[in-house]
Structure 1
Amino acid sequence: MELNLASEVLKTYGFTKENTIITQIGTGLINRTYLLSPLAEQKKYILQQINTTVFKSPWAIAWNLKAISDYLSQHFPDYLFIKPIPTIEGEEMAQLNEEFWRLLPFVPDTVSLDVLTDSRQAFEAAKQFGKLSRLLNNFDASTLKPTIPGFHDLAWRYEQFIKALSGSSESIKAQAEAQIEDALNHKHILDYYISYTHRSDFPDRVMHHDTKISNVLLEEETFDGICVIDLDTIMPGKFISDLGDMMRTYLCAFSENEKELNRIKIRIPYFEAMIKGYLSEMKAILTETEKELILFSGRYMIYMQALRFLTDFLNGNPYYPISYPIQNLDRAKNQFKLLNEIAVNEKELQDIIEENLMY
């Protein structure tokens, strides 16, 4: 962090650079994150700069977090919700030189994982995401502001894909011919989703929208779930967003950057643990329509991500960082393979869901 800016940011929270140790931390690609260790205190803090390229309305994030924090404080005061600490002026964020910063409490004796190494971790993470949604079941989701409009809107992502397809060069389209065919052949996923949207028991809920394992704090020694973090994308959405994103990111031992497609397999024990964890919190409040769409949620989110990678490749890779020219095409191949694995294992996966809904 540049020296003068660091001093100004710290000053808004009552610290000084001379009396605070600042260490950059985290593996996230969106926000810059620092650990603050004031020399005069035992407590530590997390300082984050909000990426305004991704989050164009930072005050919408602040509005949402305050509204949810106030609700949880009133109705579930024992729940650990990592809310921003106000500036000395009482603001939810510090705004300096068109940059937005926020200060958060550091939770000691916890870890966040980049990779799942045990099915129990999947259980604990899914339970924590489910718990937050359950506690906010009676919160009016319509009062929240979209922090990334259209983030999980599959219809819009499909439109973007079609637009990219029409504007891409013939040579680029030739490289991606098989994946373009996959994208078109799987449009039935979008059609199926649309057929459910008119149902009154398919409500908007408060969703996290980014349920990868690194967005859960676990107890350092036992790996028991503590709470969810990185709440910038918390906004109204369908339950399939959170559960589907967990399926997309928890079920395979390899990420979307894996090029050897024969490695892309579903870990059944991880699926079972994730479903058990999520339904231990959410089963009592899910509607009949939502229960019907549990497995579909994985298809929905995996297909959406495949479309996003393919669209980025067709557009010349302006969005996702790449380390070689066809990386986004390889990522799309990876996600289409994962989508196929859902189909291959459908009966076993659905049996697990039914069993956990029954008991």
Structure 2
Amino acid sequence: MTSDILKEFNIKGEDVETEDFGSGLINHTWLIKHAGKKYILQKINKHVFTEPHGIDNNIRSLAEYLTIHYPDYLFTKPIYTTNQKGLVEPDDHSSYRLFTFVEGSHSYTIVERKELAYEAAKQFGKFTKLLSGFDTSKLKITLPDFHNLSLRYQQFEQSVSKATKERLANAASFIETLISYRHIVDEYENILVNPCFKKRVTHHDTKISNVLFNSNNKGLCVIDLDTVMPGYFISDVGDMMRTYLSPAGEEETDFSKIDIREDYFEAIVNGYLSEMQQELTETEKDHFIYAGKFMIYMQALRFMADYLNNDIYYGAKYETHNLNRAINQITLLNKLSEKESKLKEIIAKALLVNDV
């Protein structure tokens, strides 16, 4: 099958090599070698991204803007077919695209050092800053309500009302904790109507694996642009906090290992502000810590809702898998809240350092 797809991009012959590549959970990815060059071939998961042409539209539009305004920026746009299409669709269920492999680059799945957190935050900030003049109304919504916290809370409430007695009993104290954090939803709804919060080109999936680094571990660019949509800075900064701050990931069941690394927090803030300080309003700057609460809380709600719904969305490797994931995120949220006063001091210092 892949050989037929590659022919659409004029890649053919006996010397084509194909191997599985990367650790992504959504799209299937291959590394292609041909005539001394390397490429990345991806099959878009149409169960998740039901409108691949929306993704193609977004990337093509952003590429055109950046080519005109910032031609030196490394932007990983797809290679077009001989018919100038960004997607090859051999049937109604499949969409494929091809990228040039960025030579000399590598990525990480774990934030091993605070320097990586800084570089990643800088790259996500740079991406949004360079596109500050782009008309976000041109972007298609590739994942409707992806970071709609009000909807996630409603889904959580619905799951509580329909859950089995056994699962409700297992999760009772943690459900109460989630309800006690309802004010995070109230603040989100205030943000939606606050003109001090600007909708920008937002990546929405700022895990470390979505940044390419060079041989000196300096950030090159951001990748995996399927989730790029209009959004608020709290989505990108919050997701970095959720996935970079703790030495223990979301699958950890020894909750004593979960912590907020203050030096990593400082790295995220400094990296992002090094690009975005002049773009953010004062009100937005006051919501840096809220950004972390927003994303951690939303993921805790989603894990808990899935547990109460009998694991129909994320699936589960064991009976309390999603409950443990929810507890993990609740623990992280508690830790972030406990350190808020110290983290505010770090932000205040960072604002002075980056005010140039």
**Displacement after TM superposition at 1:16 (Å):** 2.5
For residues 35-70 of structure 1, the C-alpha deviation after alignment (integer angstroms, 9 at most, x for no partner) is: 0001xx222000000001110110000000011110
User: 1:354 is matched with which residue?
Assistant: 348
Counterpart-to-counterpart distance in 1, 2:305 and 2:82: 44
For residues 76-118 of structure 1, the C-alpha deviation after alignment (integer angstroms, 9 at most, x for no partner) is: 0000010011011110111112200000110011111011111
Q: Match for 1:339 among 333, 345, 349?
A: 333
Counterpart-to-counterpart distance in 2, 1:281 and 1:331: 33
Q: Match for 1:82 among 72, 76, 82?
A: 76
Normalised TM-score (structure 1): 0.96
Equivalenced residues, count: 352
1:1-359 matches, within 5 Å, as 5-16=1-12, 18-38=14-34, 41-98=35-92, 99-220=94-215, 222-359=216-353
Counterpart-to-counterpart distance in 1, 2:9 and 2:205: 28
Counterpart-to-counterpart distance in 2, 1:271 and 1:134: 21
For residues 166-212 of structure 1, the C-alpha deviation after alignment (integer angstroms, 9 at most, x for no partner) is: 11111111111122111111111001221232221211111000000
RMSD of aligned Cα (Å): 1.0
Give the fraction of aligned pairs with identical amino acids, expressed as a percent: 46
Counterpart of 2:6, as a letter, is L
Structure 1 residues 163, 44: CA separation in 2 closer, same or farther (over 3 Å shift)? same
SS in 2 for 1:111: coil
Counterpart-to-counterpart distance in 2, 1:11 and 1:322: 39
Counterpart of 2:46, as a letter, is T
Counterpart-to-counterpart distance in 2, 1:72 and 1:255: 34
Counterpart-to-counterpart distance in 1, 2:315 and 2:163: 19
**Displacement after TM superposition at 1:163 (Å):** 1.2
Counterpart-to-counterpart distance in 1, 2:164 and 2:269: 43
CA contact (8 A) 1:6 1:17 kept: no
**Displacement after TM superposition at 1:354 (Å):** 1.1
Counterpart of 1:326, as a letter, is T
SS in 2 for 1:272: helix
For residues 285-329 of structure 1, the C-alpha deviation after alignment (integer angstroms, 9 at most, x for no partner) is: 101221111110000000000001001111111111422111110
CA contact (8 A) 1:7 1:17 kept: no
Uncovered stretches (5+) of structure 1, i.e. residues with no partner: none
Q: Which runs of 4+ in 1 moved over 2 A?
A: 16-19
Counterpart-to-counterpart distance in 2, 1:274 and 1:202: 20
